[in-house]
Amino acid sequence: MRTVYIDELFLVNLAADYILLYGTAQAAAAPYGRLRLLAGAVLGGLYAVAAYLLPAAGCLPAKLVSAAAMLLIAFGYVSRRLFLRRAAALFIFSAIMGGAAFALSLAMGGDAGGGMIYAPWTLRTALLVSAAAVGVISAASRGGAAQREAGSVRIKLTVGERTAEFSALRDSGNTLRDPLDGSPVLVVEADALTPLFSGETLRLLRDHFPADVLEMLPRDVKWRLLPFVTAAGSRLAPAFRPDSAEADGRRIHILAAVCCEPLGAFPALIGDIEEERRDISERLEKAS
């Protein structure tokens, strides 16, 4: 019978879960902090120990609860859609990495089962393998991330004391303009505005027809309907003017239109803002 050392079991699964969470962050383009990833991996390591000591803890429901808890610790909860997207990325990445981990464990004379991986690795070996895996994931994702970021801009919206930050795709096809002053229109998913508005406000934006929702929205923000045309025909969207807006740290003047449908890899789309930046610079120069 193989002797299982609890400390080695914990450390090996800690390293494996950190790799999984890091890969999930890269695959789902989720913002993350290393300490939060580590905290989620610690939970995974503790679960592996529990699954070994208490076989009942290795059942499928317990595994799903453990995975959900790891995701919440590592990335927090923004919306159900984003949580499910990250859960799907974790599942896919686990399936890919699971086979490699299983093969490596067997090659080193270990075994895998009950929701945990065990091999007679030293701490140094576990750290080296983890570092190598993280390096491979980073190298594989760097090219795609760089390509995506080259066509994106970091948006910061402020309403009162609340701020939301997210990336928006530069979309040359987005020619929407505010009919009142001609400023560009940012099309943004409702989920990206979670830091700005209450859950009730976001529910109203998602579940009601735009023409019906204006009277129900809070009065501390000036809402109006924005007409626009898509390939599917004419539509209306609830829109608001943020107290301030920035693109890559530079102030811009925009109208934000709320979209309740997923927009793709980015939670927002924005058209040409360079002309708007020039107009603001010219106005500031004249004012000075």
Q: Are residues 137 and 169 in the same domain?
A: no
User: Domain span at residue 67?
Assistant: 6-145
The segments of the chain whose pLDDT lies below 70 read: 1-4, 29, 78-79, 97-151, 208, 210-211, 229-234, 274-288
- Do residue 83 and residue 110 come from a single domain? yes
Cα distance between residue 101 and residue 80, in whole Å: 30
Cβ contact 126:11 at 8 Å: yes
Alpha helices of the chain — where are they, by DSSP H? 6-27, 34-53, 60-75, 80-107, 123-150, 199-207, 210-213, 274-287
Is residue 228 domain-shared with residue 136, that is, in the same domain? no
Which percentage of the chain shows pLDDT scores above 90? 12
Q: Count of domains in the chain? A: 2
Residue 136 in tokens: 């491979």
Q: Helices 80-107 & 6-27, crossing angle to 10 degrees?
A: 130
Same domain, 110 and 205: no
Residues 239 and 273 in one domain: yes
The pLDDT value recorded for residue 39 is 93
Is the same domain home to 156 and 256? yes
- Asked if residue 164 and residue 62 are part of one domain, the reply reads no
251 lies in some domain: yes
CATH of the domain at 201: 2.40.70
pLDDT of 103 reads 59
pLDDT of res. 129: 58
pLDDT value of position 53: 86
End residue of a domain, out of 112, 145, 178? 145
Q: What is the pTM of this model?
A: 0.53
Looking at residue 69, its pLDDT comes to 93
**What's the confidence (pLDDT) of residue 245?**
92
Q: 223 near 240, Cβ under 8 Å?
A: yes
> Tens of pLDDT along 10-53?
887 888 888 888 888 877 767 778 899 999 999 998 998 888 88
Q: List Cα–Cα distances, 225 to 64, 214, 228, 230, 270, in angstroms.
A: 42, 8, 10, 16, 18
Placement of tokens 């560009």 in the chain: 184
Domain end residue (candidates: 95, 119, 145): 145
Domain-ending residue, one of 145, 177, 209: 145
CA pair distance 187, 167, nearest whole angstrom? 12
Residue 133 lies in a domain: yes
Predicted local confidence at residue 279, as pLDDT = 52
